[in-house]
Amino acid sequence: MATNSGVPIDASPLATTTAEQALKRAFDFCIALVMGFLILPVVLLVVAAIKVIDPGPGFFRQSRQGLNGKSFKLLKLRTMRLNGDVWLRTYLAENPGAKDPRIHRTSNDPRILPGIGRWLRSYSVDELPQIWNVLRGDISLVGPRALPDYHCELLTPEFLTLRSQVRPGITGLWQIESRIDAGPESIEFYDRQYLDNWTFGRDLRILALTVICVLSGSGL
């Protein structure tokens, strides 16, 4: 069977050797191990700040689709109010023409914690705990986006099968090229670009560009 672009879904999208796959995983693990220790003090401070602003858990866990379509819990620092769904429903009801912030990036997301929430997102500090997902083997440093169920529902089964053959990543081509549009066309375009043209060197380039995006405050 093939996808609409003619790419067989039963073939690995990353046409790598076993040695290249082992190199990618070893690189992920070593970098994540070092970063896991370095980020711990920052994460603990942010968790304390979140609890002061909006009492409740400092971490946010969400089910995402990973390798071979298996679900896992993605770990992030909480940037949203505990009753964020209520805030979102009210916002969409009062603004019929507004874009759904779950699908499209917007500066008017009513679920975001006041003060600290937008800062955490702008500098991707909320993404730091995903380093521990990398250590567990749930995700890679670089790969297709780890999608929640409501995004997966927008994609074709064929494309979901294709992208599920590799680990999703903390960052990827979409994050450095098109952070505004998270619609199905944008996701498929950038994921295919990554899957069809993978090299270890390209992963390193994406990581370097990610650092630039984060330091500029444009978020992921």
Task: Give the C-alpha separation, 184 to 182, whole Å.
Answer: 7
Whole-model pTM above 0.85? no
In-domain check, residue 12: no
pLDDT < 50 positions in the chain? 1-11
* pLDDT on residue 7: 41
Task: Give the C-alpha separation, 113 to 107, whole Å.
Answer: 12
In-domain check, residue 96: no
Residue length, the chain?
Answer: 220
Backbone angles phi, psi at 92, to 5 degrees: -70, -35
Retrieve residue 17's tokens.
Answer: 């050797």
- What is the number of domains present in the chain? 1
Task: Give the C-alpha separation, 138 to 130, whole Å.
Answer: 9
Q: Which domain holds residue 138?
A: 18-83+117-215
Q: Which of 108, 99, 124, 120 is nearest to 54 (CA)?
A: 120
* pLDDT on residue 5: 42
Q: Identify whether the C-beta of residue 169 lies closer than 8 Å to the C-beta of residue 145.
A: yes
pLDDT in tens, 13-61: 565 677 888 899 999 999 999 999 999 999 999 999 999 999 999 999 9
Sign of CA dihedral 35, 36, 37, 38: positive
In-domain check, residue 93: no
Q: Identify whether the C-beta of residue 170 lies closer than 8 Å to the C-beta of residue 147.
A: no
